[in-house]
Amino acid sequence: MESPASNPRGTLLVVDGHSLAFRAFYALPVENFSTKEGQATNAVYGFLTMLSQVIESEHPDHIGIAFDVKGGTFRNELLGQYKGTREAAPEELLSQLPLIQQALTALGVRYIEKQGYEGDDVIATLATMGERDGYKTLVLSGDRDAFQLIDDNVTVLYPGYHFKDLKHMDPAAVEEKYHVTPRQYPDLAALRGETSDNIPGVPGVGDGFAAKWINQYGGLDGIIEHADDIGGKKGEALRANIEQVKLNRRVNALVRDLDLGVTIDDLGYGHVDADLIERLFRELQFGERTRNKLLTTFNTGENTAAIATHDHTIPPIVEPLVDELKDTASFEMWIDQYCPQADATPARHDTTTDVTAEYERQGTQCVDAVRHSWTLHIDGDAKPGHARAHTVAIIAGAHAVAFDPHDERYHDTLQGLLTTHACTLSVHGFKEHLHMLAAAGLTLPTVLFDTNLAGYLIDPDFQGGTLEECAAHFLAVHVDEQRDEPQQGTLGFEGEGEDADDRAQRCIDNAAVVAALARHLAPELERREQYPLLRDIELPMSYVLFLMEDTGASVDRARFDELYTQFADESAHMEQIAYEAAGRPVNLQSPKQLGVVLFKDMGLAPTKKTKKGSYTTNAAALQTLFATSEEGSKANEFLGALLRHRETNKLKQIVQTLIDAINPHDGRIHTTFTQTVTATGRLSSVDPNLQNIPNRNAAGREIRSGFVPGPDFVDLLSADYSQVELRIMADLSGDDALIEAFKSGADFHKYVASLVFGIPVDDVTPDERSRVKAMSYGLAYGLSTYGLSKQLGISNAEATKLRDQYFETFGEVHEYLESLVAHARRTGYTETIFGRRRYFPDLNSPNRQLRDAAERGALNAPIQGSAADIMKIAMIRAERALRDAHCRSRIVLQIHDELVVELAAGEVDEVTALVKDAMEHAVDLAVPLDVSTGVGADWQRAAH
């Protein structure tokens, strides 16, 4: 076109369908994307996902997808060998092309084919139509022939190595890369040729020389006219191939005036056929997250998010009416008018909270209760020890208010609302809200619904947690960091330079997302029978963790400084020994440099190579090399120093992390315990991570000596479950022999070894005990025989024999573990004692590695998940017992299967008995839960 459209009517997106399908097919492994019947779906999934990414980033008004059709085109008549070297497309891809087209039809997107012509010609015609009708046109294609379409109104979106790195090829970009204009690009391509299309060019002439000639002579016609003037071998090659170049130019010229039988108005999109897409997606076995994401992207109707998926809908994010508060009276009137009625009795933070009573009193299901709930959201900082609350937003009855929680006009009224109405409240992050409200001098009883915890119970493998991540995962809503006009799919979070009104609106926007999440998650939570876990375990657990985080753990800074110096000195000493053994300084953190020293200089047999091409130098590989190296040799000396350096350096780093985490105001460490990270339900901690403090070697255990009772407290109590996973395995399997082993009173592992090997208990050797101990825990953790062989340093055959002997002795354990995988294949999930579910879609994967990993997970989840549930119940019971007894002692840490309690003077015996009782009676099993306790002046001395 002669001039750009200064005010385009909109944006037309034209897509090279085959190019995108091929890219999707080769970007995603077929073995990971197949239905149970064996139909490959990787190209369908990748095509729709990539297309949705472009739609979200470019916001087109019209879309046309061009496809090639079977049979030759006029180009094959011009050039017989055209595309003759291309291999036939894989059958797995060809079978997906009709599925892609069906999906496009169901999603309301028009695709176009033209017999006798290529998809490139359809693209050129659509781009010309769009330009003619005044549209900004984008062409998504990986074919460089599309560059000839580029002008001020047409841009080619050209994928980089990663699809998301789309290059916006405009006239300037083409000139920068090829040194010719888009109009001249076909001339350049004719000279250069196109290997992928089997179009021969001038031998020895690439883009550089072709561009030089084009700029010198004005184009291909000028080059041909002056062919005799071009000297050298390249000139000879040109003259010898002029007819081929002319033919190439006719072949690469795109047709721009086909009769496609459509107008630009026919290329609107957004009218999704919900029934058709539901049937197709069910056939393709796409997950709910994929369905929701695609439906939200492609559907542009008025109620975008309320499209049926499965047996429920994605609720829309409703923008509430924002009411202005002026004083206390106006806030009280607002509460009376819009907030749901609830019992005035404050809820307790334990497993029998008034949430349960309210839930049962109303006779409603979780779905109905949440539908009538109100929503509170706070923007602020929830970090323990540094918590702050900036803005609170409340949505009730489609009306919203927002204000500063520190504002004295609303403070007391807000507290009254929280106290009386918490049992009908939905939030995202109950524990986090407890911290921020506490910073504003407010308290919050147990709430009805926490969307963060609910999402975790529905999908424990989802590693999100923030409101943004949950909105993207469950609602397919992406929250932009900068907010212009909040709307469905683009809700704003904190930006720079906000005033009070901006902050209030942002907080209300966030609360609206929480409300939509609650309405969406509640039906699925109830369908999966997980609400009792939320109500009776996870929410009360959040309160206990809030108390622990708020209290923090007292530490001895001087002891940490001493340990840091000790580990740093030893690390440096080991480093020097390694240098001397190597004969020169070596970066001990560099696999490449270590490989040179070990496998070239010292001549050791190389280990396996990593994906990056270097030899493996991880801890296991180095331990093997050290064990097999000649004692006293330079290699043995180097490896010993290297291993010790790594160990002490890691300990030094752990201590430094702890020192950095000390709160300067109270001298305590306020870690953050997380409930939504591990798929099994185990708790973890961050900032700092206390779970990685070693407990298996003396040096690592010394770090625990830095944790001490704070002022006005006298000792620390450590209470630790003994063999809890094995006790759970005995209970769940019902194996009489294993149950008897626990009741025997003898050393458990020696007793089990005596049964497995058929020898008296007193004759069991330490090695036999170790092997059976590893076998027992390996089963509880889903360890394979290969993993067991590596752990014990025995052959795979020996590990298999040991497993067979174990199962011969404990047959019901074998039957139970087999039933777990079979049940999971049948239902899709496993369960803990308390009904916590974990889903394993890869159990039926054609990919063996994925299938094996899913089987190990299915074996691991019920036992590990039950252990997690038992610990949580024990913590809730222990906190309640201490509170009811009016004890000053308090729980400060939870690490693995251990609780650490800060003991007040005069309470040592009473608190030890209360905590031990709470832990041992958290659940009734076929074997008793055994809890070991110890008391000491620091955590290490409290060990038992």
Beta bridge mates, 388: 381
pLDDT at 692: 85
- How do 829-831 and 837-839 pair as beta strands? antiparallel
Q: How far is CA 845 from CA 28, 29, 31, 644, 851, in A?
A: 15, 12, 8, 42, 6
Q: Which domain holds residue 736?
A: 725-861
Question: Is it the case that residue 601 has pLDDT exceeding 60?
Answer: yes
Residue 337: name the closest of 359, 321, 353 by CA.
Answer: 321
877 is a domain residue: no
pLDDT at 489: 31
391 is a domain residue: yes
Q: Exposed (0-12), middle (13-18) or buried (19+): which is 447, by Cβ within 10 Å?
A: buried
Could you give the CA distance from residue 699 to residue 567 in angstroms, rounded to a whole number? Answer: 9
Mean per-residue pLDDT, 486-505: 53
Tell me, yes or no, whether 303 and 328 share the same domain.
Answer: no
Asked if 914 and 885 touch (Cβ cutoff 8 Å), the reply is: yes
901 is a domain residue: no
Torsion of CA 162, 168, 171, 174, to 10 degrees: -10
Least confident of 271-280, 285-294, 658-667, 715-724: 285-294
CATH number of the domain enclosing 110: 3.40.50.1010
Size of the chain, expressed as the number of residues it contains: 944
pLDDT at 425: 96
Least confident of 675-679, 696-700, 798-802: 696-700
Tell me, yes or no, whether 71 and 110 share the same domain.
Answer: yes
Tell me, yes or no, whether 398 and 541 share the same domain.
Answer: yes
785-834 pLDDT, tens digit per residue, is 888 888 888 888 988 999 899 989 999 998 998 899 999 988 889 999 99
3-state SS of 898-927?
EEEEEEECCCHHHHHHHHHHHHHCCCCCCC
Tell me, yes or no, whether 192 and 215 share the same domain.
Answer: yes
Tell me, yes or no, whether 142 and 98 share the same domain.
Answer: yes
Tell me, yes or no, whether 815 and 842 share the same domain.
Answer: yes
pLDDT at 281: 85
The pair of structure tokens assigned to 635 is 């290699």
Asked if 669 and 553 touch (Cβ cutoff 8 Å), the reply is: yes
917 is a domain residue: no
pLDDT at 315: 60
Could you give the CA distance from residue 597 to residue 405 in angstroms, rounded to a whole number? Answer: 62
pLDDT at 613: 62
Mean per-residue pLDDT, 528-546: 95
- Alpha helices by DSSP H, listed for 227-309, are 232-240, 242-252, 274-284, 288-298
User: What are residue 375's phi and psi, to 5 degrees?
Assistant: -125, 135
28-54 pLDDT, tens digit per residue, is 777 778 887 788 898 998 999 899 989
pLDDT at 159: 86
pLDDT at 629: 87
More confident residue, 165 or 925: 925
More confident residue, 265 or 658: 658
pLDDT at 306: 38
Least confident of 293-297, 416-420, 773-777: 293-297
More confident residue, 758 or 617: 758
Q: How far is CA 537 from CA 452, 457, 544, in A?
A: 14, 11, 11
Asked if 138 and 327 touch (Cβ cutoff 8 Å), the reply is: no
pLDDT at 71: 64
Mean of the per-residue pLDDT values for the chain?
86
Dump the DSSP string for 62-118. EEEEE---SS--HHHHH-TTTTTTPPPPPHHHHTTHHHHHHHHHHTT-EEE--TTS-
DSSP assignment letter at 272: -
458 is a domain residue: yes
CATH number of the domain enclosing 364: 3.30.420.10
Asked if 448 and 357 touch (Cβ cutoff 8 Å), the reply is: no
Could you give the CA distance from residue 799 to residue 790 in angstroms, rounded to a whole number? Answer: 9
Q: How far is CA 743 from CA 35, 833, 872, in A?
A: 48, 21, 25
Question: Is it the case that residue 659 has pLDDT exceeding 50?
Answer: yes
pLDDT at 101: 92
Residue 104: name the closest of 20, 166, 165 by CA.
Answer: 20
More confident residue, 935 or 68: 935
pLDDT at 342: 58
Highest mean pLDDT among 133-147, 207-221, 708-722, 764-778: 708-722
Tell me, yes or no, whether 38 and 185 share the same domain.
Answer: yes
Could you give the CA distance from residue 161 to residue 142 in angstroms, rounded to a whole number? Answer: 11
pLDDT tier, 407 (very low <50, low <70, confident <90, very high otherwise): very high
Mean per-residue pLDDT, 194-202: 74
pLDDT at 308: 38
**Cis geometry, peptide bond prior to residue 200 (ω within 30 degrees of 0):** no
What stretches of 98-235 adopt beta strand conformation (E)? Answer: 110-112, 136-140, 154-158, 167-169
Residue 869: name the closest of 673, 689, 675 by CA.
Answer: 675
pLDDT at 494: 37
More confident residue, 102 or 273: 102
Integer-rounded Cα Rg, in Å, for the chain is: 34
Domain end marker among 532, 551, 570: 551
Distant-in-sequence, close-in-space partners of 912: CB < 8 Å, separation ≥ 6: 717, 719, 933, 935
Domain end marker among 536, 551, 566: 551
Cα–chain center distance at 688: 21
CATH number of the domain enclosing 616: 1.20.1060.10
Asked if 717 and 934 touch (Cβ cutoff 8 Å), the reply is: yes
Residue 349: name the closest of 869, 805, 878 by CA.
Answer: 878
Tell me, yes or no, whether 789 and 762 share the same domain.
Answer: yes
Domain end marker among 661, 689, 712: 661
693 is a domain residue: no
pLDDT at 312: 45
696 is a domain residue: no
Tell me, yes or no, whether 67 and 183 share the same domain.
Answer: yes
Question: Is it the case that residue 481 has pLDDT exceeding 60?
Answer: no
Q: Which helix (H) or strand (E) holds 214?
A: helix 207-217
The pair of structure tokens assigned to 832 is 């803990």
User: What are residue 569's phi and psi, to 5 degrees?
Assistant: -65, -45
Could you give the CA distance from residue 807 to residue 801 in angstroms, rounded to a whole number? Answer: 10
The pair of structure tokens assigned to 91 is 């059958």
- How do 837-839 and 890-895 pair as beta strands? unpaired
More confident residue, 531 or 279: 531
More confident residue, 73 or 492: 73
Mean per-residue pLDDT, 539-565: 97
Classified as helix, coil or strand, 555 is: strand
More confident residue, 365 or 87: 365
Question: Is it the case that residue 198 has pLDDT exceeding 80?
Answer: no
Question: Is it the case that residue 3 has pLDDT exceeding 50?
Answer: no
Tell me, yes or no, whether 307 and 329 share the same domain.
Answer: no
Question: Is it the case that residue 289 has pLDDT exceeding 90?
Answer: no
DSSP assignment letter at 693: S
Question: Is it the case that residue 941 has pLDDT exceeding 90?
Answer: yes
Asked if 897 and 867 touch (Cβ cutoff 8 Å), the reply is: yes
Question: Is it the case that residue 8 has pLDDT exceeding 80?
Answer: no
872 is a domain residue: no
Tell me, yes or no, whether 462 and 592 share the same domain.
Answer: no
719-748 pLDDT, tens digit per residue, is 999 999 999 999 999 999 999 999 888 899
Name the domain count of the chain: 5
Dump the DSSP string for 478-511. ---SS-SS-BTTB-----TT--HHHHHHHHHHHH
Dump the DSSP string for 797-854. HHHHHHHHHHHHHSHHHHHHHHHHHHHHHHHSEEE-TT--EEE-GGGG-S-HHHHHHH
Tell me, yes or no, whether 354 and 394 share the same domain.
Answer: yes
pLDDT tier, 78 (very low <50, low <70, confident <90, very high otherwise): low
Asked if 374 and 426 touch (Cβ cutoff 8 Å), the reply is: yes
Question: Is it the case that residue 516 has pLDDT exceeding 70?
Answer: yes
pLDDT tier, 87 (very low <50, low <70, confident <90, very high otherwise): low
pLDDT at 82: 52
Could you give the CA distance from residue 821 to residue 439 in angstroms, rounded to a whole number? Answer: 47
